[in-house]
Amino acid sequence: MTLSWWNRLGWLLEGLTDRILLWDHRTLISISSSKVLRRLDGLLLLASYLGDGYLWGLFGVWLIFLGGREERTNVLVGLAVAVVQLSLVKLLKLVFARERPPVLVPVRRVFILDSHAFPSGHATLAFGMATLTLRFYPQWIGLVSLVYALATIIAISRVYLREHYPLDVIGGVILGTASAWFLGPVFKTAIVWR
C-alpha cells in the first residue's frame, strides 16, 4: 500500500514537472517570436548588453558624484551584494547545469561567459539592484519605478534573445530580490564610508 502511494506521488510530480517544462518551452517560443517585441529588437538587444553590469555601474557612478556619504555607502553595499549574487549564480549554474535554449538564426551570441542557464545572472543582478533602490530610496518613487522598469526590460530581453528560458529568468528575479532584500541591510550596517 505504501509503495503504491509513493508511486502515485512520483507520477504526479513527474507529470507536474513535465507540464512546467512544457510551459517554459512554449513561453520561450511565444516571447522570442513575438511580433510586438520584434519592433523593440534594438532596445532589447541594448538592454541585454547594458544588463551585463554597465547600467548598474553608471548608476553607481552617478550616485557617487551627485550624492553624499550615504549614497557612497549605498554604492559599496550594492557592490558587495552584487559580488555575493554573482557568486551564488555561478554556484547554482554549476549545480543545475541547465543548458541554454537552442540558438536560432540570426545568432546573437557573440560572447558567452558560460553555457548554463539557470538562474539568469542578468535577472538576478537587475532585480537585486532594483530591490536595493527600493530599500534605500523608498521616497524616490519615480527612481524606484524606473529601475524596476529597466530590470523588467532586461529580464524580458534575456528570453526574447533566447539566452534563457522563462524559468531561468524567474529564478534570477527571485534570487536577486531575496538576496538583496536580506543582504542589503546586513552590509549597510557593516560598511561605513569614511
Residue 128 pLDDT more than 90?
A: yes
pTM metric for this prediction: 0.85
Q: Alpha carbon of 81 to those of 119, 173, 176, 178: distances in Å?
A: 16, 14, 9, 11
Q: Say what the pLDDT of residue 130 is.
A: 96
d(CA 139, CA 48): 28
Contact assessment for residue 124 and residue 84, using Cβ atoms and an 8 Å cutoff: no
Q: How confident is the model at residue 141 (pLDDT cuts 50, 70, 90)?
A: very high
For residue 116, report the phi and psi dihedrals to the nearest 5 degrees: -90, 150
pLDDT greater than 60 at residue 2:
no
Question: 63-118 pLDDT, tens per residue?
Answer: 888 888 888 888 889 989 999 999 999 999 989 888 888 776 555 554 556 778 78
Residues 39-55 have pLDDT tens digits of 988 888 888 888 888 88
3-state SS assignment for residue 191: coil
Sorted by where each begins, the domain ranges of the chain are: 2-190
Burial (CB count <10 Å: 0-12, 13-18, 19+), residue 74: buried
